[in-house]
Amino acid sequence: MQSYRLVGGEPPDRQPSGNGAHSGVANAPTPPPTQPTPPIPPTIHPQSAPVGAEVLRVEGVVKEYKVGGGNVVTALRSVNLVVREGEFIAIRGRSGAGKTTLLNLIAGLDNPTHGRITLFGRDLATLNDAQRTTIRRTEIGFMFQAAHLLPTLTARENVGLLLRLAKADPAEREQRAHEALALVGLATREQHRAPELSGGEQQRVAIARALAHAPRLVLADEPTGNLDSHTGLAILELMRNVAHVAGIAFIITSHDPLASQMADRVYDISDGVLTPGVA
């Protein structure tokens, strides 16, 4: 499993302000050459495979669903896609185009009818259910349109929940949950329960939850679908930042034009056909 650690101090809203309206770097005295300027906001350092290694290869993938009356729905048609660490990929398409089907196949939750999916160098077809579950728990982070936080748990407990299910050491779990929340700028909201957070904050907790186990790939299905455009943009920027700084690959689906603008690469999907798009 990839290991990364968070560095830096407080989230942006806790950074000490400088003189006047501008804070921090611009007004600070030039640091001595031996002391690098601390990163603002807190960020993370990759400590494993070099950025740019291939994490996913989808080759000629077709997905057919058998439905009533002997009919077949073809949800994906000869889909090809290669994704590398640190890439922020957006897939846009109308309802029913095949976006969720593709993410489900990449996550090994379902099997392609034809074609091959290679995840972290392993052909998914060769893995049994237990091996796929292990990959999902250790190497993939998930985000959805709704944050799906448990309302009775605090932000920190929500973020640590999957680590708890994975039987992570409690101290490590606490630390990772804390770091992931700091990464998304929510260190001051750790003890809030979901109903005590705004929609954007809840989705930031969902990002933290997706990142807490240090995945190599995050699959996000319409992560900004419930947010206003301003909040959605902030969430997209945050995810892109994490992708670039931590070397984690993100594949997001979205109807949101802003997602295409933020992405390193954009694809269009229409009636199961995936094609490179223009931002």
Q: Using alpha carbons, select from 88, 51, 86 the residue that is nearest to residue 265.
A: 88
Q: CB under 5 A: which stretch of 84-92, 99-107, 177-185, 233-241 binds Mg ion? A: 99-107
Encoding tokens for residue 187?
Answer: 């260190």
Least separation in angstroms between residue 100's CB and Mg ion is 3
Q: Using alpha carbons, select from 9, 15, 43 the residue that is nearest to residue 211.
A: 43
99 vs 173 by CB, closer to Mg ion: 99
46 binds, among ligand ATP, Mg ion, none (CB under 5 to 8 A by kind): none
86 vs 98 by CB, closer to ligand ATP: 98
74 vs 100 by CB, closer to Mg ion: 100
Q: Does 100 bind Mg ion (CB under 5 A)?
A: yes
The maximal CA–CA distance of the chain, rounded, in angstroms, is 74
15 vs 100 by CB, closer to ligand ATP: 100
Degrees, nearest 5: CA angle 207-158-6: 50
Name residues whose C-beta falls within 8 Å of residue 70's C-beta, 6 or more positions apart in sequence: none
Q: Does 226 bind Mg ion (CB under 5 A)?
A: no
Encoding tokens for residue 15?
Answer: 């950074």
The amino acid sitting at 64 is E
Q: Which helix (H) or strand (E) holds 236?
A: helix 229-246
Least separation in angstroms between residue 102's CB and Mg ion is 9
d(CA 102, CA 111) in angstroms, rounded, equals: 10
Q: Does 104 bind Mg ion (CB under 5 A)?
A: no
96 vs 121 by CB, closer to Mg ion: 96
254 binds, among ligand ATP, Mg ion, none (CB under 5 to 8 A by kind): none
d(CA 48, CA 247) in angstroms, rounded, equals: 9
Least separation in angstroms between residue 216's CB and ligand ATP is 23
The residue number whose beta carbon is nearest to Mg ion equals: 100
Note the residues at the interface with ligand ATP (CB under 6 A): 65, 67, 73, 75, 93, 95-101
Runs of H (alpha helix) within 212-228: none
262 binds, among ligand ATP, Mg ion, none (CB under 5 to 8 A by kind): none
